[in-house]
Amino acid sequence: MTPSNDSTITLSVAGMTCGSCEMLVERSLKNIPGVLSVHAKQRKGRVVLHIDPDHPPSMDAITQAVTKAGYEIHDGTSAPPHKTAHESNKPRYMEIGAALVIIFALYKLAQTFDLASLAPSTAGSLTFGGVLLIGLVAGSSSCLAVTGGLLLAMAAKHNQIHQAESSSQKLRPLIQFNVGRLVSYFVLGGIVGLIGTAITLPIWTTAYLNIGVALVMLYLALTILGIIPKGAFPIRPPKALSHWISNLTEHDHPLAPIALGALTFFLPCGFTQSLQLAALASGGFAPGAMSMGVLAIGTLPALLGISFISSSARGSFSRIFLTFAGTLVFVLALFNLRSGFALAGFSVSLPAQQAVEATSENAVRLPVITGYEQEVRMKVTAYGYEPPELTIKSGVPVRFIIDGTQAGGCTQGFVIPSLGIQKVLQPGDNIIEFTPEKPGRIAFSCSMGMVRGAFNVL
Amino acid sequence: MQTTVSIPGIHCDACGKLIKSVSGDFPEITDIAVNLTTKTVTLTHADDFALDDWTKEIEGLGETYKVQRLS
C-alpha cells in the first residue's frame, strides 16, 4: 500500500472477481473513520481510498476490514494481481483454439457429406408444406449463419451477464427474439401480399446492414471471449453507436430482443426474398402473411434448438458453452463481414479463394461476340458460380445469361452491386443486360454476399 | 417471523456477503441465510421489519438484484 499523495491511498486487493466484490469492499471500507470515499476496481485488483489528510484512517482497521470481507491486501501496488482470482476473466486462448479446431473440423465434415451446400434444394411447389420445408432447410443452412449467429451471440452474452438466472429466465429473451421474428415475418409478409411489391432494401443498405450485424456479432464474440473488456472498443466508433449496440444486445428490456428478431426480416436472405415473391404473387394480406409466417415457423426448430441448448448450459458446461459459442460467433461474424463487404461492392477474396479461381479453366474463356453484343453464360450450382470469373470487353453491350436451374435458397438472390442490379433468379435462363464502361473488375454475388464472382473487364 | 425472497442476481459468495452486510444495517433482522444455489435469502426478523425498505437497499446495489418475495 502506498500513499500516493496526502489524500489518497491505493491498495492492491486480491480476490475481487465481480461487481459484488467491488461493492462489498467499498462498503467494508467506507465506514472506517478518516475514509472519505472508496473506489474498488475489480479488473485491476485495486482499491483507491480518498482519505481525510488531517485524520488518516488506521492501516490496521483497513487491513482488518478487507480481510473480514474475505479479500487479501498485497503489499506494494506493483504486485501483480492475484492470478487465481482473475483467471475467470482472462481470455482462455487454449480453449478458444480448441473450439476453432472443432468448428473447422465440423465444417469440413459437413462439406464431405454435402451438408454445407449454400444452395440446398428447395425445389417443389409453394404449398404451405413446401414453404415450411424451405424454412426448415433455411433454418439449418446458410440463413443460420446470420440469424442463428445473432441469436447465439445474444444468448451467450445474456448468459454471461446473468449467470445466476434459471434456465427459464435465460430462455425468455431468446423466445422474445423468435416471437419478434415470427410476428415481423407474418405482418410484413401480409403487407407484401397486400401492396404487391417485395420489400427489399437497396443493395447498399443491405450491405451495411450485413456489415452492421457482423460488427455487432464480432463485438459480442470478443467480449464473450474476454479478449476485449466489456464496454471497450478497440476502434472507437461514435459513443452513441457503441451505446446503442451494447444497449440493444445487453439491455433487459423485452423490446430489444423482439426488435432484433423483427430486424431479421430485412436480412437479404435468398430464402426470404424468393418467398417474398411468392407472397406478393398471392395478392392479399392473409396468404402473404401465411407464407412468410410459415417460413419463419419453419426456421424455428433450428433457432429454438440454439435457444434451449444455450439457456440450459450450467456450471462448467456453461463456461465451455460460452467459449465455444463465442468462437463460433466470431467465425460467423468474420464470414458475414466478408459477405457484407462483397455486397458493398468491394471484392474481397481470400488467398484460398483466389487459388481456386486461378485454377479453373474459365479464366481464359473469352466472350462470344454476336454482332454488336457479347454473350456470357454462367451456371449457378449448389457450390457457387460456374465459372466464378468471367471475362468481358469494355464498351460492348453484355448479354449475361445465368442458368438458374440449380439455384435455390440463398443463391436465388443475385446482385451486381456496382451496377445496382438486383434479381431473383428463376429456373432456366435469366438474362441481365448491361454495358461495361471501362476495364476493371465488376463483382457480383448472391443477395447475402456469400457466393461471389466477378467480371474481368478488358 | 421469517421471510424468504428470491434474488436471481446472486451469483457468488460476494453477493451473499454483500446482502448480509446491507442487512446488518437493519436491527430488526436477527438472522439471515443466503442460499447461492437456489438464489434465495431467508430472513428471520422482528414483526416491525420493513421489507420494502430492505428491498430498496438491496435493489439499489445493482440492477441485477431484483427481490421477489416468496413467502
Q: What is the pLDDT of residues A290-311, one digit of tens each?
A: 777 777 777 777 777 776 666 6
Instruction: Give the model's pLDDT for residue B66.
Output: 80
Instruction: Specify the CATH number for A2-87; select among 3.30.70.100, 3.20.20.70, 3.40.50.150, 3.40.50.300.
Output: 3.30.70.100
The whole domain housing B7 covers 2-51
Which of B6, B12, B20 would you mutate first to test chain A, the one with the most A CBs within 10 A? Answer: B12
**CA-wise closest residue to A26 among A34, A38, A36:** A38
What's the whole-number average pLDDT of chain A? Answer: 68
| Residue B8 touches chain A, beta carbons under 8 Å | yes
Query: Is position B71 within any domain?
Result: no
* Dihedral in degrees, nearest 10, Cα atoms A91, A94, A99, A105: 150
Query: Is position B60 within any domain?
Result: no
Assign residue B45 the CATH number of its domain: 3.30.70.100
Residues in chain B: 71
Instruction: Give the model's pLDDT for residue A118.
Output: 42
Instruction: Give the model's pLDDT for residue A143.
Output: 58
Count: domains in chain B: 1
**CA-wise closest residue to A339 among A407, A276, A390, A270:** A270
| Residue B13 touches chain A, beta carbons under 8 Å | yes
Q: Indicate the SS3 state at residue A416.
A: strand
- Residue A262 parent element (H or E): helix A255-263
Least confident interval from A103-107, A332-336, A349-353, B20-24: A349-353
CB B8 within 8 A of CB B67: no
Chain B's closest residue to A163, CA to CA, is B11
The mean pLDDT of A104-109, rounded to a whole number, is 68
Query: Is position B63 within any domain?
Result: no
CA distance B3 to chain A (A): 21
The mean pLDDT of A173-198, rounded to a whole number, is 74
- Domain boundaries in chain A? 2-87, 91-344, 352-457
pLDDT at B10 over 60: yes
**CA-wise closest residue to A200 among A405, A410, A413:** A413
CB A411 within 8 A of CB A380: yes
Contact A19 B62 (CB under 8 A): yes
Query: Is position B67 within any domain?
Result: no
- Higher-confidence residue of A130 and A296: namely A296
Instruction: Give the model's pLDDT for residue B33.
Output: 87
Q: Mind listing the pLDDT tens digit for each residue in A213-249?
A: 677 677 766 766 666 554 444 444 444 444 555 555 5
Q: Mind listing the pLDDT tens digit for each residue in A48-101?
A: 888 888 888 888 888 888 887 778 887 654 444 443 333 444 556 677 777 777
Contact A161 B64 (CB under 8 A): yes
Query: Is position B41 within any domain?
Result: yes
Query: Is position B21 within any domain?
Result: yes
Instruction: Give the model's pLDDT for residue A168.
Output: 66
The mean pLDDT of A110-132, rounded to a whole number, is 49
Query: Is position B57 within any domain?
Result: no
CATH superfamily entry for domain A352-457: Cupredoxins -  blue copper proteins (2.60.40.420)
Instruction: Give the model's pLDDT for residue A361.
Output: 45
